[in-house]
Structure 1
Amino acid sequence: MPTILVVDDEPGLLELFQFALEWRGYRVLLTGNGQAALLTAARQIPDLIVTDWNMPRMNGVELCQRLKSYPALAQIPVVLLSAELLPVQIQPVWAQFRRKPVDLDDLELTVGLLLLARDRLKTARHIPTDRAASRWQPVTSKLIV
């Protein structure tokens, strides 16, 4: 069961997102600001993060930037939410941006697609150990008959 960390300073939205995502079968962790989210992400390593942009202590963009600086957290996809328009001059460090108020069906679809893409990437990186020897590998005495 994938784990999703939801970060927002509005308790009502946290509850709404938690209900919608848990109903879809996800394990949901909640925090109220970016600082707490960074600590939770370091301890729990979620599969995906949904975060608000405007929050006290550390906003969503700062959270994304800090996540990228830790190798264990850098590959976690992030959905950034905001009631404001996305400024053009900001280089995106998140996977998806959604405007508030968020359509819950759209959020659930976005989360599902990002998790699917992440799983495919993990599978593509997996190298089976039972592969035939490469012509570039040194020959060992076990291969010589």
Structure 2
Amino acid sequence: MPTILLVDNDPDILAALSVALEWRGYRVFLSQDGKTALEKAGRTMPDLIVTDCSMPVMDGIELCRHLKLYPALTAIPVIMVSAQTQPHRIPALWNAFFFKPIDLDAFESSVGLLILSRPTRETLRPVCSDRAMSRWHPVSSALLS
């Protein structure tokens, strides 16, 4: 069963997306900020992360930057959602973007496509040349500049 980590500081959005995704057969983990989400991603290794752009503690953009620092987490696709204008897309930080309120049909289609297109966990490899000592040792942040 594919797993999805939902990250949003609005409990109503977490509940609505969680119900929609669980109804489709996904296992869902919840987080209310980017810092907690990063820790949960390391523990649960989700197949997809859906994150809000604006959150306290660590926002969605910063979460995406941190995910790319860890070889074990870098291949996890990310969907960014926001009620505001789309942030300047930094190459390769997220795979899809949705405005709130979210069009659930388009959202569910993107979720399915991103999970299907993700390589199996056994074949995941770091994509950068600055290889970390282990998959949990961060790579150089200079790669994200």
Q: Which amino acid aligns with 1:15?
A: A
SS at the partner of 2:97? Answer: strand
TM-score (norm 2): 0.80
Q: Give the superposition deviation at 1:28.
A: 0.2
Q: Which amino acid aligns with 2:5?
A: L
- Counterpart residue number, 1:96: 96
Q: Which amino acid aligns with 2:82?
A: S
In the alignment, the residues of structure 2 paired with residue 9 and residue 44 of structure 1 have an alpha-carbon distance, to the nearest angstrom, of 20
- Counterpart residue number, 1:116: 116
Q: Deviations over 1:14-55 (max 9, x none)?
A: 000000000000000001000110000011110000000000
SS at the partner of 2:114? Answer: helix
Q: Which has the higher contact order (CA 8 A, sep 6+)?
A: 2
**Where does the alignment leave 5 or more consecutive residues of structure 2 unmatched?**
125-145
CA RMSD of aligned residues (A): 1.6
- Counterpart residue number, 2:107: 107
In the alignment, the residues of structure 2 paired with residue 56 and residue 122 of structure 1 have an alpha-carbon distance, to the nearest angstrom, of 33
Kindly indicate whether residue 91 of structure 2 is the aligned counterpart of residue 80 of structure 1.
Answer: no
Q: Which amino acid aligns with 1:60?
A: G
SS at the partner of 1:105? Answer: helix
TM-score (norm 1): 0.80
In the alignment, the residues of structure 2 paired with residue 11 and residue 99 of structure 1 have an alpha-carbon distance, to the nearest angstrom, of 17
- Counterpart residue number, 2:46: 46
In the alignment, the residues of structure 2 paired with residue 87 and residue 26 of structure 1 have an alpha-carbon distance, to the nearest angstrom, of 28
In the alignment, the residues of structure 1 paired with residue 76 and residue 42 of structure 2 have an alpha-carbon distance, to the nearest angstrom, of 11
